[in-house]
Structure 1
Amino acid sequence: MAILPPPTGNTVMDPVIRSGRYLAVGTTSHLHLRGCWHVWSTDGAYIGYATDPGLISLVIARYENGHTP
């Protein structure tokens, strides 16, 4: 699966968060003023997103337990 960039009109936030085999990139847009963290695995699969950096581990756990976005 190809790694998809964030939609046009989004701003990438720093820092990028790395958690084991996963990478979370925060973005903001006019729709999500607080930000949204999109999570990918290191093999390029899109895992899902979290609305708070504290929820990234939950997104990863759901993926590892067989739940898809």
Structure 2
Amino acid sequence: TLDLDIVLWSGGTLYGPRLAIPHPLFRQRDFVLHPAAQIAPDWRDPVSGLTLRQLAARAVRRR
């Protein structure tokens, strides 16, 4: 069994019975947001429209 959470991809969103892309909880996870924001700060979340830089900044403010 492989548990793989897909966050960054250029295909918008995909929702199925066993798969959701991007992973629905990545916006709440600092350990995902901060490294991802360093790699692709201007990538836009297809659901919220916010960049990874913006999402990471919000995560810092929540702490």
How does the TM-score come out when normalised to structure 2? 0.29
Q: Which of the pair is proportionally richer in helix?
A: 2
Q: Which of the pair is proportionally richer in strand?
A: 1
How does the TM-score come out when normalised to structure 1? 0.28
